[in-house]
Amino acid sequence: MKALCEWVLKRKADSVKRVKAYHNFESAKLVGVVFNAEDEGSYLASIDFITYLNNKGIRVKAIGFLRGKERLNHFPYTKGVKYSSYSEISLFSATKNIDILGFINTKFDILIDISQTEHFAIKSIIALSKSKLRVTSFIEDYLFDFQINVGRDKPVDFVAKQIVLYLGNIQKAG
C-alpha cells in the first residue's frame, strides 16, 4: 500500500505547476513553515523560528501537525499559524481541509519543513506545494530544492538554526 501511495504522490507532485526560484531571508517576502506540534520542545522551537522570521519582516504562514483532532483547539493563537491533524490528509494525498488546501496553493517564496518527521501528510503538503523554493533538513530528492542534511535525530531548534545559517549566507542570484 505504501508503494502505491508514494507512486500516486509522485505523479501528483510531477504535475504541480510552480516557478522555481532561489530566495534567502533578505529576498523572501512570504515563507511557509510545516512543523510537528506533537511535543512541547518541537512546538516551542517552531514558534520561536516563526517569530524570528516575523521579526525580520517576513510574512509567515505555518501549519503544525498533531496526531489527534481533540487537541487542535488547545494551542494559543499565533499570527499566521494553523493546526491540523495528520488524519486530515488521506493516503492518496486528498484533503477537504480549507486551511491545508490554502497552504498548498500559496505561492511561498520559501517553504520550510522543520517537522523532523516522515509522516505522509507532511510529505503530501510539500510535494503538492506551489512554493518557489522547498527547504528541508534531510534528503528527499524529488520534493526539495535545498537540503541541509543534519539528520532526523536533531532537535528542531538546531535544525532551525542551521536553516537560518545557510539561508542567511546564500546570496540571491542576479
Domain segments of the chain as ranges: 2-169
Supply the CATH classification number for the domain 2-169: 3.40.50
Whole-model pTM? Answer: 0.90
φ, ψ of residue 12 in degrees (nearest 5):
-65, -40
Q: Where are the beta strands (DSSP E) in the chain?
A: 30-36, 59-66, 81-85, 110-113, 134-136, 146-147
Q: Is the dihedral of CA 127, 36, 66, 98 positive or negative?
A: negative
Determine the pLDDT at residue 146.
87
Taking residue 14's Cβ as centre, other Cβ atoms within 10 Å add up to 9
pLDDT of 26-84, one tens digit each?
999 999 999 998 888 999 999 999 999 999 999 999 999 888 765 656 677 788 898 88
Between the CA of residue 11 and those of 5, 16, 70, what are the distances in Å? 10, 9, 33
Pairing type for strands 81-85 and 110-113 reads: unpaired
User: Does the pLDDT value for residue 92 go beyond 80?
Assistant: no
pLDDT band at 11 (very low <50, low <70, confident <90, very high): confident
Work out the average pLDDT over 99-126. 90
